[in-house]
Amino acid sequence: MSLQPSGYRPSVTGYVEKGGFNRDTAYIPDRITEDGRRPEHGNADVPLWPVEPGRYRLVASWACPWANRAIIVRSLLGLEDVISMGVCGPTHDMRSWTFDLDEGGKDPVLGIERLQQAYFARFPAYPKGITVPAMVEISTGEVVTNDFPWITHDFFHEWREFHSDDAPDLWPAHLREEMDEVNKRVYTEVNNGVYRCGFAGDQESYDAAYDRLWTAMDWLEERLTDRRYLMGDAITEADVRLYTTLARFDAVYHGHFKCNRQKLTEMPALWGYARDLYQSPGFGELTRFDQIKAHYYRVHTDINPTGVVPKGPDPDVWLEPHGRG
């Protein structure tokens, strides 16, 4: 029996209800923590797993903004040698993300063709959409968690013993209260706001979603006019969270999701900021525009029934000087 509501969209784990898009945020809540300790933040009753190098595999996709966030944070913190990574292809069917990029269509470490197999290994009747990113225990092949906000939070707070010496402080203690507020607004109004526009089921819902998105985009443009990064002079996780949406804006969201008041390239502060991040280590080299476009334009057949993927925009514009140093 499926617990998915009518109108459910497995590719984005959400559903359309009364014309508006609602994201399903009931993820697998388990946490991976230092020595399996009970963390001070988050749900106090979630199952805990201990931090252990080589025990877990991050399964992600270059195409998905939520997964791209995990890929970037893992790189920035220097966790590549302690948390391995499997990458799914950009397209999938209604059942699952698949390992199309690997030889034989199988993840070389987990030995599976579909991420769904890791979910079913632990939850045989798992009723929801199969999402990336996901942390999978290598020895059992079982999914541990797909709760993407906590995955990157715990990469920073719980895996600190294994960070590289030059890892950035992605969660500065003196900024955390303000950063929580910024992250919340970016998530609800921008990261998720573009999806509300793209999957709106009627004009009224679309118009409301469009207005909310652009109110937030104008706020970001103003905020970034007199500061280099969202929280000041240094990159934090807040920037990673915003970047993965901005990187997809002109290529996908502007046209495909009808977020077309302006292009990112027409917003001076935001466009300079986005290029600044793209040209920073850990961002541009982990952004795959071909994978991004293939995912959205081929998977969302209700929005783009032809499956035709646009050739533009030219990715070389991301290498133009940003002037924000």
Instruction: Name 136's bridge partners.
Output: 57, 143
User: Which residue segments constitute the domains of the chain, with CATH numbers given?
Assistant: 8-162 (3.40.30.10), 173-280 (1.20.1050.10)
- Give residue-wise pLDDT tens across range 209-223: 999 999 999 999 999
| Burial of 114: CB neighbours in 10 Å, binned 0-12, 13-18, 19+ | buried
Instruction: Compute the half-sphere exposure of residue 171: CA atoms within 13 Å on the CB side of its CA.
Output: 15
pLDDT in tens, 264-294: 999 999 999 999 999 999 999 999 999 999 9
Residue positions in the annotated binding site for glutathione?
Answer: 97
Percent of all residues in the chain with a pLDDT value above 70, rounded to a whole number: 94
C-alpha 260/C-alpha 210 separation (Å) is 9
Q: Is 259 a catalytic residue?
A: no
pLDDT at residue 40, rounded to an integer: 76
Pick out the residues of the known binding site: 97
**DSSP states of 105-151:** GS-TTT--SBTHHHHHHH-TT--S---SSEEEETTTTEEEE--HHHH
* Alpha-carbon span 172 to 154, nearest angstrom: 14
Most confident of the ranges 16-20, 46-50, 56-60: 56-60
Q: How would DSSP label each residue in 27-69?
A: ----EEEGGG---SSS-TTS-EEE--TTSEEEEEESS-HHHHH
What is the Cα–Cα distance from 264 to 250, expressed in whole angstroms?
6
Length of the chain: 325
Choose the catalytic residue: 8, 15, 119, 195.
195
> Chain-wide mean pLDDT for the chain?
93
Q: Quick one: average pLDDT of 193-201?
A: 97
Is there a catalytic annotation at residue 126?
Answer: no
Q: Which of 8, 64, 119, 278 is catalytic?
A: 64
Give the Cα separation of 314 and 295 in Å (integer). 18
Backbone angles phi, psi at 21, to 5 degrees: -90, 130
Question: Strand, coil or helix: what is 229?
Answer: strand
